[in-house]
Amino acid sequence: MAGDKKVNVGVLGATGTVGQRFIALLATHPYFVVHALGASERSAGKPYAKAVNWKQTDPIPSYVRDLVVQTCDPKHFKQCAIVFSGLDADVAGDIEAAFRSADLAVFSNAKSYRRDPHVPLIVPLVNPSHFSIIPQQRALHSPPLKKGFIVTNANCSTTAVVVPLAALERAFGPIESCIITTMQAISGAGYPGVPSLDIFDNIVPYISGEEEKMEWETLKILGGIAEGDDGTKEFDMHSKTPLRISASCNRVPVIEGHTETVSIRFARRPPPSPQQVREALQAYTPDTAGCPSAPRQAVFVHEEPDRPQPRLDRNHQFGSGVSVGRVRQCRVLDIKFVVLANNVNIGAATSSIINAEIAIAKGVVSV
Ligand SMILES: NC(=O)C1=CN([C@@H]2O[C@H](COP(=O)(O)OP(=O)(O)OC[C@H]3O[C@@H](n4cnc5c(N)ncnc54)[C@H](OP(=O)(O)O)[C@@H]3O)[C@@H](O)[C@H]2O)C=CC1
Ligand SMILES: N[C@@H](CC(=O)OP(=O)(O)O)C(=O)O
């Protein structure tokens, strides 16, 4: 952003796993300034340092220690141009709607509005063009809004896989089949999350709703926006070139970083070679120029045979990109590889922050 202008932002769900990561990341942001914090009645009225059960490796940033946590009522956030939400999905729906109605720009991590036909589901390294639906979202609101809107992030496992898929579709055309197996970190379930007796020395081969989310969200993100005769825009769900996805989701005893094995078949025959795929992934440049929180390299491609690994690779580029490795031929489909993404950073808070940076750059949020 040009100049030294600061932008006031609020954080809803500021005490949770994603909320704490927002607080940590925003502490060093060049122009976002945290002005208000919201959480449940349990936390409201307390200074942040007293309300939060801080679980980040760095100490609580000093700027926020004494900021008093508010209830999630828009009246406390009037001075904010942007509100980031790390709210529990059970309450996010009503609260985020109230903030949008109060003409605030809401960047949400919850699943509540991902399937809304007027709400874009934006992974900033993939589909920032979907911001074009925002004027329609505002116009259809009753009463129509001037500034308010909701933009959602994807599910954290979806985010990891759509980045390499987008890179490969850009280079080689449509992908027609994709089989994914996830190994998801415990932090994906919030705090305290999965009981230690369930996850220690164990793998849980089920995460409620996760497979359906991955299979559906990927189509909305990788698809385009079609325009009807009356000018109404709608998400085309990749329908021009149908993409079949099968996801199997597992919880593993890793604290942070979702790892996924992916096999894909391209529509084009013959398919690209593993080396061509590696080069295309490495060269992929998303439309995030000028966004201070975007990674320098969206997809980092490992040559070592045993990478990426969550403990070694989850904090590369502050967890803002994805790491891919083991790109090789698949004997059933065409190509297979491993992808790793930090579920709390690019899988959640970092994506929201880059989305907000893009919204400012595109003039969707005026500051
Ligand atoms: N963890 C992850 O890796 C990812 C999470 N997400 C999504 O992000 C959201 C947040 O997840 P996560 O941080 O893990 O969840 P947590 O359970 O760790 O945090 C939930 C937050 O919501 C607040 N909250 C709960 N009930 C209320 C209420 N009635 N009114 C106001 N605030 C309330 C809590 O406040 P209090 O402390 O006061 O109870 C807390 O700040 C969820 O929707 C989740 O699905 C998405 C991608 C990845
Ligand atoms: N379900 C994810 C995290 C999450 O909260 O996803 P969603 O926002 O789609 O509910 C995980 O367990 O790792």
Model pLDDT for residues 333-342, shown as the tens digit of each residue: 999 999 999 9
User: Which is catalytic among the residues 72, 80, 156, 249?
Assistant: 156
| Domain-wise residue ranges, the chain | 7-155+349-362, 156-341
Quote the pLDDT of residue 135: 97
How high is the pLDDT of residue 267? Answer: 98
d(Cα 55, Cα 38) in Å, to the nearest integer? 18
The reply to whether ligand 1 has any atom less than 6 angstroms from the CB of 74 is no
Q: What is the DSSP letter of 68?
A: B
Distance 239 CA to ligand 2 centre (A): 25
pLDDT score for 4 = 72
The ipTM value here is 0.97
- Give the residue whose CA is nearest to atom 12 of ligand 2: 188
pLDDT of 176: 98
Residue 218 CA to ligand 1 center (angstroms) comes to: 23
Identify the pLDDT of residue 341.
98
Using alpha carbons, list the distances in angstroms from residue 251 to 150, 182, 233, 256, 263.
Answer: 29, 8, 37, 11, 20
Quote the pLDDT of residue 283: 98
Q: What is the pLDDT of residue 2?
A: 55
Q: Where are the beta strands (DSSP E) in 185-243?
A: 225-227, 233-235
156 is an active site residue: yes
Residue recorded with tokens 């920032």 = 128
**pLDDT tens digits, residue range 274-292?**
999 999 999 999 999 999 9
Q: What is the rounded distance in angstroms from the CA atom of residue 108 to the CA atom of residue 84?
A: 6
> How far apart are alpha carbons 264 and 244 in whole angstroms?
10
Q: What is the mean pLDDT of residues 119-139?
A: 98
Q: For residue range 33-64, what is the model confidence (pLDDT) as tens digits?
A: 999 999 999 999 999 999 999 999 999 999 99
- Please give the Cα distance from 349 to 26 (Å, whole number): 10
CB-ligand 1 contact for 257 (6 Å cutoff): no
Render pLDDT for 290-314 as a digit per residue (tens, 0 to 9). 999 999 999 999 999 999 999 999 9
Question: CA neighbours within 13 Å on the CB side: how many for 179?
Answer: 8
Counting atoms of ligand 2 from 1, which one is nearest the CA of 217?
Answer: 9
- CATH fold for domain 7-155+349-362: Rossmann fold (3.40.50)
- C-alpha of residue 285 to centroid of ligand 1, in Å: 31
Mean pLDDT of 236-254: 97
92 lines ligand 1 (CB under 6 A): yes
CA-closest candidate to residue 185, choices 55, 332, 311, 7: 311
> Is pLDDT of 158 > 90?
yes
10 Å CB burial of residue 142 (0-12, 13-18, 19+) is exposed
Second CATH level (architecture) for the domain 156-341: 2-Layer Sandwich (3.30)
Report, as an integer, the average pLDDT of 81-103: 98
| Residue 158 alpha carbon, nearest atom of ligand 2 | 9
Give the integer Cα–Cα distance in Å for 198 and 200: 6
pLDDT of amino acid 3: 60
Mean pLDDT in the chain? 97
Closest CA to ligand 1's atom 1:
188
Per residue in 99-114, pLDDT (tens digit) is 999 999 999 999 999 9
State mean pLDDT over 125-151.
98
Interval between CA 2 and ligand 1 midpoint (Å): 33
Candidate list 29, 258, 302, 316, residue with the active-site label: 258
- CA 308/CA 9 separation, integer angstroms: 34
